[in-house]
């Protein structure tokens, strides 16, 4: 079990080291649990969360991938209200498929760049 946790942490640190963020490109962090998905826009310079959204605030309907897309749609509205057009996508230790991929595609559909 310890080896699995260490591999996850190494993967997370490797991904975090590759992304570079500035005050004009905040980090868009994704966390996926077994039942829910969370996304937040983080300004790493000021150490503040600019916007966040999760599927806990939505009515449960459809499968998890559809819920992830709805989370992004709601978060994208908040991000565009802040007049942010470019973000850095931080998927953490999660693989880029399924719900995480659906989030990224919904992000691109709203015209945000990463």
Say which DSSP state 55 is in.
G
User: How do residues 26-68 score in pLDDT, each as one tens digit?
Assistant: 888 899 888 888 989 988 888 899 999 888 888 888 888 888 8
In the chain, what are the domain boundaries?
2-109
Supply the mean pLDDT for the chain. Answer: 85
Protein fold of 2-109: Nucleotidyltransferase; domain 5 (3.30.420)
CA distances from 5 to 16, 18, 29, 35, 46 (A): 16, 20, 19, 20, 29
Q: Is the pLDDT of residue 14 over 70?
A: yes
Give the global pTM.
0.80
d(CA 8, CA 19): 17
Q: At CA 81, angle to CA 85 and CA 52, rounded to 5?
A: 90
- The answer to whether residues 26 and 47 touch, using CB atoms and an 8 Å cutoff, is no
């Amino acid at each position: 079990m310890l080896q699995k946790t260490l591999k996850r942490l190494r993967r997370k640190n490797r991904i975090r080291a590759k992304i570079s963020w500035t005050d004009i490109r905040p980090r868009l962090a994704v966390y996926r649990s077994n039942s829910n998905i969370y996304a937040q826009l983080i300004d790493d310079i000021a150490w503040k969360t600019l916007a966040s959204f999760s599927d806990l605030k939505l009515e449960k309907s459809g499968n998890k991938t559809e819920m992830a897309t709805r989370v992004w749609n709601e978060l994208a509205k908040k991000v565009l209200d802040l007049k942010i057009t470019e973000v850095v996508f931080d998927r953490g230790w999660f693989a880029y498929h399924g719900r995480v991929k659906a989030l990224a595609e919904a992000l691109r559909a709203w015209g945000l760049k990463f």
